[in-house]
Amino acid sequence: MISTTYKSTRTDTRTFRFSEALLQGLAEDGGLFIPESIPNLPANWREQTTFEELGYLVLKNWLGDEVPEAALRDLVQDALNFPVPLVSLKNSPYLGENVAVLELTHGPTLSFKDFGARTMARLMSYFLTQKKQNLTILVATSGDTGSAVADGFSGQDGIEVILLYPKGQVSPVQEMQLVVARTGVRAFAVEGTFDDCQRMVKEAFLDPNLAHLPLSSANSINIGRLLPQSLYYVWAYLQMKQPIINFCVPSGNLGNLTGGLFACEGGLPVNQFVVAHNANDFFPAYLGTHTEDYKPSVRTLSNAMDVGVPSNFERLKALFTPQGLNDRLWGTSVNDQETLETMQRIYHETGYTACPHTAVGLEAVHRYRNETGDQTPIIVLSTAHPAKFPEVVEQALQHATPPAEALEILRTKPMTHNTLAPTLEALRDVLLSK
């Protein structure tokens, strides 16, 4: 079977195999890798009854002969070894009928980022072992990416991970998940914003002084993170048992959404994607006006979505026309007050405790249905477990969240704390000092 080939968002004079795009992270011209064409879902996708088998079949269509079948099957089974339940939200006058939450929160670090990070870590390790190579992975994280990547890669031979996160701008639980001592992982609190962290990573990739280092990224800018993020859309559709559905995606860098668009272009019957942002409203504003109004990121209660300029925006513009985006997507921006009110309202109506990111999505569902009248069954992606945000849950519901076992285990482990100035020079010293 032929594998999908990739090109840069900025020039399409050269094509790359998946393994090249995966290990390189960012194209030499500074662009992001995108597929030259999006493969169809496997012919028998509707008959699949386990997440592992479905995941294997969908990924096989993307990777073709680049990973042998047995290795790919093992890899998917090892990476995606946790439940992915679809929970129906009944009795909510606020949301209406046929609303369900897809809980992507049962992986080891309790966010949807475990899907991309764990799968990508194993794919990278597979290719590196073949090539007998080493790699340093640089990650800018607004919270959940870093812990998912650290967990996914820790202990893999030949791979070192360096995490940058904005100091004081992740929750205490998120910070604990980042700084817990892990084999082959160094975490740094950067004295700046998430955008500073992201800029430092981009600059490091383009820095001639670092050109001799084998560097890669594991952000949602890496194509290897995106492909696994299309699998659960297909799985959720099958669980919902409806002919056509909508999805609501709480979004920041738009990587989760891009995974959904891949599934949809591959043939999944999706009517609309409701794209839910917090006060960082660059993308909903773009969908409204088609102008690019760049603003710095602002801090919110749903801090894993505090992104000023979504990195995958460049991908979406390369893959779709502006009208094409408007045909598929409906965007909105939800502020912190509305987020808290929604957490409270949904808890009182249904007994469901949503994390602040998921609550942004639930509020967007209400708005979408109210403003458009479209009552198509809708699945909201739950992107993090509420136990990761105990302060916000307490503020919204006036009571504590039920604890999560994965977090109780972490609390007993050793932690290491490092800080870093928000400059390329500081990062360069770290990279050259090992």
Ligand X SMILES: *Cc1c(COP(=O)(O)O)cnc(C)c1O
* Interface contacts to ligand X, rule CB under 6 A: 111, 113, 144, 220, 250-256, 304-305, 357, 383-384
Q: How far is the CB of 399 from ligand X (least distance, A)?
A: 21
Q: How far is the CB of 380 from ligand X (least distance, A)?
A: 12
Angle at 400 between CA 398 and CA 403, to 5 degrees: 165
Residues 260, 263: Cα–Cα separation, whole Å: 5
Residues 127, 129: Cα–Cα separation, whole Å: 5
- Measured from the CB atom, the residue of 72 and 227 that comes closer to ligand X is 227
> What's the CA dihedral at 235, 238, 241, 243 to 10 degrees?
110
Which H or E run includes 217? strand 215-217
- Measured from the CB atom, the residue of 35 and 42 that comes closer to ligand X is 35
Question: DSSP character for 386?
Answer: G
Residues 177, 173: Cα–Cα separation, whole Å: 6
Q: How far is the CB of 379 from ligand X (least distance, A)?
A: 15
- Measured from the CB atom, the residue of 127 and 313 that comes closer to ligand X is 313
Q: How far is the CB of 144 from ligand X (least distance, A)?
A: 3
Q: How far is the CB of 133 from ligand X (least distance, A)?
A: 28
- Measured from the CB atom, the residue of 90 and 199 that comes closer to ligand X is 199
Q: Is 65 exposed, middle or buried (0-12, 13-18, 19+ CB in 10 A)?
A: exposed
- Measured from the CB atom, the residue of 107 and 252 that comes closer to ligand X is 252
Biggest alpha carbon distance in the chain?
59
- Measured from the CB atom, the residue of 156 and 222 that comes closer to ligand X is 222
Residues 381, 86: Cα–Cα separation, whole Å: 9
- Measured from the CB atom, the residue of 228 and 250 that comes closer to ligand X is 250
Rounded alpha-carbon distances, angstroms, from residue 177 to 7, 182, 198, 380: 34, 10, 19, 25
- Measured from the CB atom, the residue of 67 and 275 that comes closer to ligand X is 275
Q: How far is the CB of 74 from ligand X (least distance, A)?
A: 27
Q: How far is the CB of 247 from ligand X (least distance, A)?
A: 13
Q: How far is the CB of 317 from ligand X (least distance, A)?
A: 16
160-193 residues labelled b (16+ CB within 10 A) or e (exposed): bbbbbbbbebbbebbbbbbbbebebbbbbbbebb
Q: In terms of DSSP H, where are the helices of 5-143?
A: 18-24, 51-63, 69-79, 113-131
Residues 204, 427: Cα–Cα separation, whole Å: 8
Q: How far is the CB of 307 from ligand X (least distance, A)?
A: 7
- Measured from the CB atom, the residue of 22 and 173 that comes closer to ligand X is 173
Rounded alpha-carbon distances, angstroms, from residue 276 to 27, 133, 249, 280, 359: 29, 40, 6, 10, 10
Q: How far is the CB of 146 from ligand X (least distance, A)?
A: 10
Rounded alpha-carbon distances, angstroms, from residue 214 to 128, 149, 395: 11, 18, 45
Task: Answer for the pair 262, 230: CB distance below 8 angstroms, yes or no.
Answer: yes
Q: How far is the CB of 108 from ligand X (least distance, A)?
A: 14
- Measured from the CB atom, the residue of 407 and 421 that comes closer to ligand X is 407
DSSP track, 314-373:
HHHHHHS-HHHHHHHEEEEE--HHHHHHHHHHHHHHH-----HHHHHHHHHHHHHHHHH-
Rounded alpha-carbon distances, angstroms, from residue 6 to 2, 59, 237, 425: 13, 15, 27, 32
Residues 204, 428: Cα–Cα separation, whole Å: 7
- Measured from the CB atom, the residue of 22 and 149 that comes closer to ligand X is 149
Amino acid identity for residue 391 in this structure: E
Q: How far is the CB of 40 from ligand X (least distance, A)?
A: 24
CA-nearest of 247, 310, 245, 246 to 277 is 310
- Measured from the CB atom, the residue of 42 and 116 that comes closer to ligand X is 116
